[in-house]
């Protein structure tokens, strides 16, 4: 079972513990945890703090609000406390001040390796902690979990395709799964279903771009790219990766071009896809 699912179980039980420590290197998974909390609790019960120093520890001793018995405090950016000893000091202070029925949710945008001493302290104090990151090995399971939330079941080939066209980015995957669920009445979907659904979303999609590249139709290829690159840049690159990785014979130069385009996108260079398309049409 994924850690996000284990935390969801705690939410459905009512967040009965005083403190929950959630950490991930991918911010999307922290946002997901907050979304699940907001989905299951009355907004009146939830208070949000951007930084740990914003929390007034004296307020943690106030057990009830005027409008709700339960209080949930969500504190983001734990990692912004610079030193380990200061982090442990803050954890100790809030733990000692906290009175039920308040539940404190601490969010940290860090990996296990970045907070080893903090995690040792947390385990020693028997504070519940959840590493929400989803590794490559568990990505298919997470996609199935997200799809089930939307009431759909994805076959293996559909899951593999979604991973390829989104470069495995969880935010994009979640967005595509939600989009698919809204555009179909089917409960079980395979690769052909996914392609059909996504191709109907816009006048042009990545599949049309691949077709134009195959036919060396330069004018149409750039016209399609111009329409979709501002909103679906990662999807474009993912689809091209998917297409060339499945061709029987692909020049190593192509993979080099795709790799460089990916690096350029990460550095927010808007012309990277145009240059990539130019080179692919020449090859």
**Same domain membership, residue 156 and residue 122:** no
pLDDT of residue 183: 85
Structure letter (DSSP) for residue 64: -
Tens-place pLDDT, residues 106-158:
999 999 999 999 999 999 999 999 999 999 999 999 999 999 999 999 999 99
Q: How many domains does the chain have?
A: 3
Q: Clarify whether residues 209 and 253 are in a common domain.
A: yes
Tell me, yes or no, whether 15 and 98 share the same domain: yes
pLDDT at residue 203 in the model: 46
Which domain-ending residue is among 133, 168, 190? 133
Cβ atoms 30, 22 nearer than 8 A: yes
Strands 188-189 and 102-108: unpaired
Could you tell me the CATH number of the domain that includes residue 153?
A: 1.10.8.60
Mean pLDDT of 242-255: 73
| CA gap 137, 168 in Å, rounded | 11
Residues 152 and 81 in one domain: no
pLDDT of 66 > 60? The answer is no
Same domain, yes or no: 167 and 208:
no
| pTM exceeding the 0.95 threshold for the entire prediction | no
Percentage of the chain beyond pLDDT 90 is 51
Helices (H), 23-109: 27-40, 84-97
């Amino acid at each position: 079972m994924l850690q996000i699912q284990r935390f969801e179980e705690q939410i459905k039980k009512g967040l009965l513990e005083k403190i929950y420590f959630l950490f991930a290197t991918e911010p999307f998974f922290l946002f997901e945890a907050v979304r699940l909390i907001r989905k299951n609790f009355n907004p009146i019960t939830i208070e949000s703090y951007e930084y740990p120093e914003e929390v007034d520890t004296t307020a943690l001793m106030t057990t009830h609000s005027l409008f709700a018995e339960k209080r949930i405090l969500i504190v983001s950016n734990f990692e912004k406390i610079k030193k380990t000893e200061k982090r442990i000091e803050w954890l100790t202070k809030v733990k000692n001040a906290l009175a039920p029925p308040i539940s404190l949710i601490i969010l940290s945008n860090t990996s296990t390796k970045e907070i080893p001493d903090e995690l040792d302290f947390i385990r020693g104090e028997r504070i519940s902690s959840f590493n929400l990151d989803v590794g490559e090995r568990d990505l298919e399971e997470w996609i199935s979990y997200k799809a089930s939330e939307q009431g759909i079941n994805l076959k293996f080939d559909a899951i593999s395709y979604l991973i390829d066209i989104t470069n495995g980015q969880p935010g994009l995957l979640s967005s595509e799964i939600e989009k698919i669920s809204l555009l179909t009445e089917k409960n079980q979907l395979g690769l052909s279903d996914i392609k059909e659904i996504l191709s109907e979303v816009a006048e042009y999609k990545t599949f049309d771009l691949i077709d134009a590249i195959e036919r060396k139709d330069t004018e149409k290829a750039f016209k399609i790219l111009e329409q979709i690159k501002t909103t679906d840049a990662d999807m474009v690159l993912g689809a091209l990766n998917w297409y060339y990785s499945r061709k029987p014979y692909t020049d190593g130069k192509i993979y080099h071009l795709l790799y460089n385009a990916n690096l350029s996108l990460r550095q927010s260079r808007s012309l990277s896809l145009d240059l990539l398309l130019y080179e692919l049409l020449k090859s």
